[in-house]
Structure 1
Amino acid sequence: YKLSAAWSTLQSGGRAVDAVEKGCAQCEIDQCGGTVGYGGSPDELGETTLDAMIMDGDTMQVGAVGDLRRIKNAIGVARAVMEHTKHTLLVGESASNFAEDLGFPGENLKTSRSLSIYLKWLSQNCQPNSWKNVTPEPSKSCGPYKPANRFLQEKQRVHHELTSIHNHDTIGMVVIDKNGHVSAGTSTNGLRHKIPGRVGDAPIAGAGSYADSEVGGAACTGDGDIMMRFLPSYQAVEYMRNGMDPTLACQKAISRIRKHYPSFFGAVVCANITGSYGAACNKMVALTQFHFMVYNPSADRALEKVVNCI
């Protein structure tokens, strides 16, 4: 449905950036996989917060929001940041206030499902969580935590590496319209049981997604805390700028991260202005293939594509 919404927007004369907004918004409404939009991925306080970003590859303008509370249409607020401010990224309660001032309705983003996930997590001694180098031992108990001494830090570092893969995902979308305009965007409710205030890669330009109408676009999903350190979407677009085909560009972006984090969870999708596209993912026990969708105009439907992880 999200690709159909994006394609319908183009068919009705909308620009690439309009299609990205409509496609991501549809996913927010549908709560895609429970990892996009309201009612999913509760943080350590049981609250669902949202991250989103949109980028116009013509103007290189970006609008983004992080740790957005109470507002269901995160990609819409990101678009508002781009259209109505001179800023790029707004975060937290101030971003929510900004949205409400512009007429976005404030609503409770919790659902019975997100509450159930949260209560189950509490009953399991807050496992897994995102803490390290603290006491009490975060692999066995809930906080509040305090910094640990050096001996405990060495012990807990191994635990952190073994538990860095969590159940989370992002919608990433790249759109090229009939005039060659490129736009990209993302939306997510972030990492499940994240520390309140955490913002992942999704709203960071060049990390979650990137677009340049002279080249193409790319978008990412996976362990945002690691992936944002390498700006893989930007890197993939730059590889394509230098003549690399989309599949290889995605693979190279993944390989740069894997050099430092061999077991990270992540994938990249890429498309260039000729209409060629590709994707790549880091191979691990829990991820051997990556599925993504491409809208086929001649068939007038979305087609599922699969790549083997490298």
Structure 2
Amino acid sequence: MIKILFLLFILQIEVAYNDQNIPIVVTTWNFLNSTIRAWDILQNGGSALDAVEQGATVCEEQQCDRTVGFGGSPDEDGETTLDALLMDGKTMNVGAVAALRRIKSAISVARHVLEHTTHSILVGDQATDFAKQMGFHEETLTTAESKKLWMKWHNENHCQPNFWVDVTPDPSKHCGPYKPVIHVKPRKYTGPHVDQYNHDTIGMVAIDQNGDVAAGTSTNGAKYKIPGRVGDSPIPGAGAYADNAVGGAAATGDGDLMLRFLPSFVAVEEMRRGTPPTQAAQAAIGRIRTHYPDFMGAVVALSKDGEYGAACNGIAAFPFYVRDRNHSKSGPVIVEC
């Protein structure tokens, strides 16, 4: 009798597992190679943390859309800096770096922050110093391509577009340095429009065969940003969020606007209330759209049982890749919200 009850218990576990679409990985945009790498790890029994880290590393190395990794999105001084985040939904621990200089492997440095410190975020030159202590190689992130891009912006286009408002000289006509100008009524920002062509953060959410959830991001930020600028990508709950009890989410788009609303956290909290992933992502996007109707951004959401969805604003369609047990033979599937 005891043996029969034990076998029934095991059968119930197997049925519950088979009802879940895990392992699974969801990747923002059309970053196929990153999705393939993450899935290779998951299907071989690897952890969700490893899948997200290694998947994002592929994009860093391949300079996906020139908006991830070295040699892209130079700031006002012509330097490329990197932001990245990795969150463990099992422990609720976070590791992140922001404005990381002269280190290529941003997502892996974030992993070291997660595993080898009790901090959550390290920034700038101090993040570089930490990376060097952890064994990472310091080198320039500038390439001939990014230098040429910056020189055209600085010399031919007279530092246009840029992100300054209410300063003198007029930032629409001159390069800095700038000084503040106080107006009775602040002028509306009319700077560069952030879209999928100049800010394609890679965001990934993965669930491994143990049901552990991880989420992460990597980006080189917005082109011609003011040096020191940090967007949504390395901010927990903004760029990405993960919780084993619920699932995970990741965001991409105009980070200066999106980080104010913590869209990844909102999406996860909506799923915690029982909202399906697509509707949860829509709720996160809708909260931003209420205040900024024309903003560009998207959110992917993944529930703990492997159901996924996405929502976007300011673009005709937002593609994202999915690789899971249901598509084990066909390979990664690209979906549009």
Which TM-score bucket, shorter chain as reference? over 0.9
Which residue in 2 is equivalent to 1:295? 323
Q: Residue 162 of structure 1: CA displacement? A: 6.0
Instruction: Indicate the SS of the match to 1:28.
Output: helix
Cα distance in 2, alignment partners of residues 263 and 161 from structure 1: 13
Could you tell me which amino acid in structure 1 is paired with residue 176 of structure 2? G
Query: Which of 134, 137, 144 in structure 1 is aligned with 2:177?
Result: 144
- The CA distance in 2 between the partners of 1:246 and 1:168, in whole Å, is 24
Aligned to 2:74: 42
Q: Which residue of 1 aligns with 2:123?
A: 91
Q: Does 2:144 align with 1:112? A: yes
Deviation at 1:164, TM superposition (A): 4.0
Aligned partner of residue 173 in structure 1, secondary structure: strand
Total equivalences in the alignment: 300
Aligned partners of 2:212, 2:147: CA distance in 1, in Å? 41
Counterpart in the other structure of 1:253: 284
Corresponding residue number in structure 1 for 2:25: none
Equivalent positions of 1:74-223 (< 5 A) are 74-122=106-154, 123-150=156-183, 154=186, 157-158=187-188, 160-161=189-190, 163-165=192-194, 167-223=198-254
Q: Percent identity?
A: 58
**Displacement of 1:12:** 2.8
Shift of residue 107, structure 1, vs aligned partner:
1.0
Counterpart check, 1:304 vs 2:334: yes
Question: What is the root-mean-square deviation in Å for CA atoms of aligned residues?
Answer: 1.2
Q: Distance in 2 between matches of 1:82 and 1:300?
A: 34
Structure 1 unmatched ranges of 5 or more: none
Q: Which has the higher contact order (CA 8 A, sep 6+)?
A: 2
Secondary structure of the 1:59 match is coil
Displacement after TM superposition at 1:37 (Å): 0.3
2:282 and 2:191 map into 1 onto residues whose CA distance is: 24
DSSP 3-state at the match of 1:289 = coil
Which moves more between the two structures, 50-59 or 106-115?
106-115
Shift of 1:299: 2.1
**CA deviation map 1:147-197 (0-9, x unaligned):** 01316x63xx33x24644352120000001111110000000001100000
Counterpart pick for 2:310 among 279, 282, 287: 279
Structure 2 residue 34 is matched with structure 1 residue 2 = yes
Extract unaligned runs of 5+ from structure 2. Answer: 1-32
- TM-score (ref. length: structure 1): 0.94
Q: Counterparts of 2:329 and 2:162 in 1: how far apart (Å)?
A: 44
CA offset at residue 81 of structure 1?
Answer: 0.2
Report the secondary structure of 2:210's partner residue. coil
Q: Is this contact kept in 2: 1:27–1:37, CA < 8 A?
A: yes
Aligned: 1:230 with 2:261: yes
TM-score (norm 2): 0.87
Deviations 1:288-310, CA, capped at 9 Å, x for gaps: 11111101442251111011xxx
